[in-house]
Amino acid sequence: MTGEVVLLGFWPSSFGMRVKIALALKGIKYEYKSEDLRDKSPLLLKMNPVHQKIPVLIHNGKPICESLIMVQYIDENTSSQDNQIRHLVCLIENAIINLLKGQEQTAWLIDLLDGR
Ligand SMILES: N[C@@H](CCC(=O)N[C@@H](CS)C(=O)NCC(=O)O)C(=O)O
């Protein structure tokens, strides 16, 4: 996935987290723009005018909405042997959702999402 990649998100959103996992697994560098959902940015309203929801993935100026579609898009627009990243995203997502009580157990997952 070459060119400019921007993710509009809001940190507690599990939909946004799903996209962050896919980007991290594929090693894609991107700019993260945090949205205030009570005061949505002109960029969000322009990129997702119908639903006005995050996340929105913007690839070279083109918006992709709906987190599962984004994961599929990331999968299909990057080189990999089998384009199976969406299944791995689902596994990690479930792991994060089920392990949140012990912060230390999820530290590596949080680092992964932040690209550290
Ligand atoms: N089906 C969408 C759900 C996105 C969604 O519900 N986003 C919420 C935040 S988690 C949102 O932007 N809410 C703001 C609003 O509804 O005005 C997806 O998978 O991307």
Residue nearest to atom 10 of ligand 1 (CA): 13
Q: Within 10 A of 63 (CB to CB), how many other CB atoms are there?
A: 17
* pLDDT, tens digit, 9 for 90 and up, residues 60-109: 999 999 999 999 999 889 876 666 788 888 888 887 777 666 665 666 66
Q: Which atom of ligand 1 is nearest to the CA of 70?
A: 20
Q: Are 22 and 45 in contact (CB under 8 A)?
A: no
| pLDDT 10s digits, 13-51 | 989 989 998 998 888 999 999 999 999 999 999 999 999
Tokens of 12: 């507690």
Taking CA atoms only, the protein residue closest to ligand 1 atom 16 is 53
In a mutational test of the pocket of ligand 1, which residue from 54, 66, 93 has the highest number of ligand atoms less than 8 Å from its CB?
54
Domains in the chain (CATH in brackets) are 5-114 (3.40.30.10)
Q: From the alpha carbon of 55, which atom of ligand 1 is closest? A: 20
